Every structure is written in structure tokens, then in C-alpha cells.
Amino acid sequence: MTAASHFASFVGDAHGSVHSGEGTQYNFYFQSTEQWLRDQARRRPRSVAEEDRRHLHERFVAPPGLQHARDLLESEHAVLIRGHSGSGRRAAAVMLLHELPARGGTLHELPDTSDDTTGPPLDGRDVGRGDRLLLDLSEADETRYISVQNALSDFRSSVAANGAYLVVVLPHHLGYLLRGDLRHLMAEISRPSARRVLATHLRCAGIHPSEVLLGGAELTSFLARAPLRDVAALADRINRLRMTSPADRGFPDWLKQALEEQHDQTERVAADFSAAQNGRHRALQLAIAMFHEATPDMVLYAANGLLGLLSHPPDPTPRLEQADLYAELSAVHAETGPDGRVRFTVDGYDRAVRQHFWTFLPDIRRELRDWLMRQAANPALDAAIRREAVNRFAHQALRVARPEDLAWLAQQWTASRAPAWLIPEAARALVLGLEDDHHGRFFRQRIYDWATSDDTSVHLLRVLIMVCSQTMASTHPDQALVRLHHLARRSHEGVRWEARKAMIQLSAADDRLYQLMLERLAAGVSQRSPQADLDVFRDLPDPVRLIGRRSVRHSLTACWAGLLSGTTDWPTHLRLWLEAGQTTAERDLIARVLAAACAQDTRLFGRLYRVALDWVRIRPEPGRADMASRLLLAINEAQGIHAYGRTA
């Protein structure tokens, strides 16, 4: 772990207080955070990675209208999917592309933020031969939706010319803005049978309930109103209960318990809230709801913290004449269990309390954000309780369209003076935002802004590296690469090294991303940040990867030109490149790249060849001699000197 010079120490992973010598102590939890992010990435349903698509395909129930979409995609190479929120429109779009035969291209999602390009909203350079492209506009605003439509005609031409396919998920709420010349590409899908969706998910988990068991009134009521993602979540809860319940329990018990977690107690909470004129009881309700299953002292601490933050007047009654916590818990339908943890006595009551506060007290949402920030910093708070509190806050903040609250918390929890145990919570807040269907684009843009800002804290920069490489890379790899590239240009050595490593790893298994990375390096070497981009270039593990492509050779040539003119250690890197040529074709292409890189400074031709000759003398071998010979031939041709009988 690289440490900044003014830090006493870095600890990669810890689960309690750590003392590491004199001076300021920093106990970082980056390793455990990164492991959590990897685990989350494996379960992410929005991913378009092949493994996740296969997982989705096994559980996919085709919605009405999908066949028409298939026909349009086959004949027009593009289709616009329209459907209500919760109808599974994104899953349908992914499956349309997944069903197509792979023809050498990749299946990837198009960028949905402007980033550092001033080009059109759709760039034909994002289309590769045989690519399968997804553009999710389901949460686009009016401006972006109109601009994308204006660029769609030219972009479709690039798609068709490359034998590629494009599926666009339309924003249902902006249906009136769809241009008339695009309507022939639109396919409307409807919500598939929620019962079939549930049965399919259960079958994939090895659970085969009868039609009678799936026909109960309570389940039918739930399936009639729940979005499909909640139906899938119900199946996951049933499967979890199957694995943890006693052996004598069966599907009816698992289903009953899973549905109890969904109980809507909104009306009861509203009535109780109106009846409880005591502000202290209301604060206690929210404290229990946010820190459910915490210890009594933690709940009391949180309730008092909320009262203080809202400047609630203290009770003048002497303390011993006031009710004790046991009585107060009973008054708000809560109790302390055998394990000493505080819970509401009614299933689903905690969720309804949270929803009531964020819905019907909108004027204190900022104070609720500040309250969570302070409570999370309490070192006595159990880590699991803190984690769940962040999850609950994120759900409410995103539900009421306040993504900026989560972004603000991530900044506060990674500030230089923030407790180190809040670093995982900052990552959690960003991941929950990125995974949200409605606000993911907001967080992708905010992460870009942080990655390019000089004011971003070092801790937040390191969190961004993990979030980009583990979370954003699964759904928006192009945008993840762009952000990692900016992070690789930072002045902080540790941040720069970690981002460089993550950037190279991200491009390792995807030729399209590798080519994108080379293009960005070539542009940076010649314009903006030569040294940082040259550091990434030096770390490329395979010099001959894709070197047969003209565009790749162009980027490699630009990077080599920067290396030769801007550094003095290029001979070491040159020897690695000379060694990489294992075949005649590879050696010939390497020689052409190196010779072309010297075109702007003819003095480099001789220096380059002398290093190659010294390399051959160290270990004279036929392959090395051939490499040097081809380099000399390429140098001569670059100067207009052609061997007899050979043309350029």
C-alpha cells in the first residue's frame, strides 16, 4: 500500500482500533470495502456482462410485445422499447441483444453523460463491427432526449454500416416528445405475468410450488401492484428463508414470512404519528426505524441527537419523574428482545415510519441527512447497524429524488478529518446511487466531476477508484475507464498508481476498451498530461496486443513519440518491446510503429537503432537479429530509403 509522505501508516484492513506507532493514526478499511464491492458486482442485475446476461436469461419471462421488437431489430438493426416503469423494459432490451448471435463485436451500454467530450450525444466511433448496443434513456430529461433523437439518424447509419444492432429504452414519461420519423422503430411492451416471473425465479432456485400455493389472496394482491424487481426480490427472500428455516418448515411458511417483510403499515404509522403529540416519541420512532435492532443506548443516543439537531426544547420535568426508556419504547410499539436489541413489534412498521418521515416532513430532510452523518460517526455504533442505516437512508433519499444528499454524505465521510470507519459507508452510498434506476446517471456525472476536480479529497479519490472499477465498470465500462483515466493523472502518487492499475485491468479482457484507452493515452501524451499518460503506457502488459489494427498502431506511435521526446529512460522500455515480437509479422509491425514515432525528430532514428544493436549483442539469437534487421528496414523506409525490389 502506497502511503503519502505525511502519513504515519496505512492499514489495508482492520476490524477495530489499530495503533501503529507515534504520530497521527489512520486506519483505513479500503481492502474490506473493495471486497464488498466485488461481492456486490457479482449480484448486480443491471450488468450487461455475459455471465449476468445468462443469469437473467434463465429467469426472463418475455413480455407481450417482445416479438414485434425482435422483428424490428432484425430488419432495421435498431428498435425503440417503450413501456411503463416496473414493466421490465430494461431487462427486455438486454435480452433482445443477448439473443442475437455474437459476430465478433461486444455487447455494451452507450455512455449517458457528456464527460470530457464536446462531440454529439451519440458518437459513431462507439460502434464496432458486430457490436450490440444498449442505450437506456428511461430516466433522461427533455434536453437529452431531444438531442439524442436529433443525432439518432446518423448514428443508425454507423450501426447499420458496421453490422451492429441498437436497442434504445425510451422514457415513458416523455412519450409526447418522440419524433414522428422514429415512431416506426418503436415497440411497446407490457408487464409480463408477475406470477410467472415469481415461479420462474423460484424454479431456478430449485423451488417448485404448486399453482394452489401461488394463488393465495395475499400473494395475489402483492403481485398485482409490485414492480418486477420487487417480485424478483421476493423470490430471493423465499430462497433465503428456505436455507435458514428449520427443516420442518415448507414453502407456505417461507412465503408467509417473506410477505410479512413487505407489509404496508403506512396508514397505521400515520395514525400513530397524529396521536403522538410528544416530539420525543416521534424522534424515538425514527431512531428505532433507522437503527432497527440497535441496543437501547444507541437508540436513545440517536433520538436525543435528532431532538438536538431540530432544536427541540428539552423536557423541564426532573429526570427521575420522566418515563424510563422501557415505557417510552412500549409507547411507540417497540420492545427489547432477548438479545438486548430494540425492535418494533409490528412487521414492516420500521419501513413505514421511515417512509412517513421522508414523505410528510419534507422540510426537515436536510436535517435528517445531517443527523445520519453525525450518528454514523459514533464509534460505539455496531458496524452492521451503521451499514443498514446507510442503506435505509439511501432508499428514502433516492425515493424522494434527493440524490445530492447521498453524494454529500460520501464527501463528508471521506474528508480528511472524518473517522476512517466511514470510508466503506461512503463507497456504499455511491454504489446505491449508481445502482438506482432513476438516479444512476446523476452519480456517474458527479463521480466524473470529482475525478476531474482539484478539490476532491484523497480518501474520496481512492473510493472512486474502487467504485469505478468494481461497480460502474459492470454497467458503463466506457465511462468507468474515462474516470479512472482522470484519476490516473492525479498528483497523489498512491491514487495515481491505484487508478493506473485499475484502468489497465479494466481494459485487459475487452479489446474495445483497450483501444479506447490507447486513444485517450495518445491524445493525452500529445496534449494534456504527457507524464501521467506515459506512466500508463509503460505499464501495458502486452505491447503487441491488437497491433494488427491500423488505429491501434496510430495510438501506439503517438505514445512512443511522446516517450522518445519526453523521457530519458525509453531504452529500457524499448528492449521490452523488441522482446515482445515473437513472430515475423509482430516484429514487422513493432518496427513500423517505432520508426513512425521518430518521424518528428530524425536524430532519434540512430539512437533507436543503436539500442537495438546493443540488445542483440547481449544475447545474439536469430529472432533478435531479425527484429533489429526489420527495425533498420522500417527506419530506412520512414526516411524514404527503400530496398531494391520493395515498395512502401
**Type and span of the H or E element at 508:** helix 493-508
Continuous segment of H or E residues that includes residue 81: strand 78-82
Q: Is the dihedral of CA 528, 532, 534, 540 positive or negative?
A: negative
Placement of cell 410528510 in the chain: 360
Distance CA 545, CA 515 (A): 10
Q: Do the strands 107-109 and 132-136 form a parallel or antiparallel pair, or are they unpaired? A: parallel
- Kindly give, in sequence order, each residue whose CB lies less than 8 Å from that of residue 225, ignoring residues fewer than 6 positions away: none
- Strand residues in 137-288 grouped as ranges (E): 165-169, 186-188
311: nearest Cα among 358, 355, 370, 352: 370
C-alpha cell at 142: 427533455
Distance CA 510, CA 472 (A): 15
pLDDT digits (tens, 9 = 90+) for 174-219: 999 999 999 999 999 999 999 999 999 999 999 999 999 999 998 9
Q: Where are the beta strands (DSSP E) in 93-219?
A: 107-109, 132-136, 165-169, 186-188
Helix/strand/coil for 20: coil
Quote the cell numbers at residue 10: 496505512
Please report the sign of the dihedral spanned by the C-alpha atoms of residue 481, residue 482, residue 488, residue 490: negative
Among candidate residues 147, 146, 142, the one with its CA nearest the CA of residue 121: 147
In the 3-class helix/strand/coil scheme, how is 330-341 assigned residue by residue? HHCCEEECCCCC
- Count, residues in the chain: 648
What's the pLDDT at 269?
81
pLDDT number for residue 605: 95
Tell me how crowded residue 548 is: count the other CB atoms within 10 A of its CB. Answer: 11
Q: What is the pLDDT of residue 31?
A: 65
Compute the Cα dihedral for 566, 567, 572, 576 and give only its sign: negative
The CA distance from 142 to 195, in Å, is: 35
Find the angle CA(542)-CA(547)-CA(549) to the nearest 5 degrees: 145
> Which residues of the chain register pLDDT less than 50?
1-28, 43-47, 647-648
Residue 196 cell numbers, joined: 410467472
Pairing of strands 342-344, 334-336: antiparallel
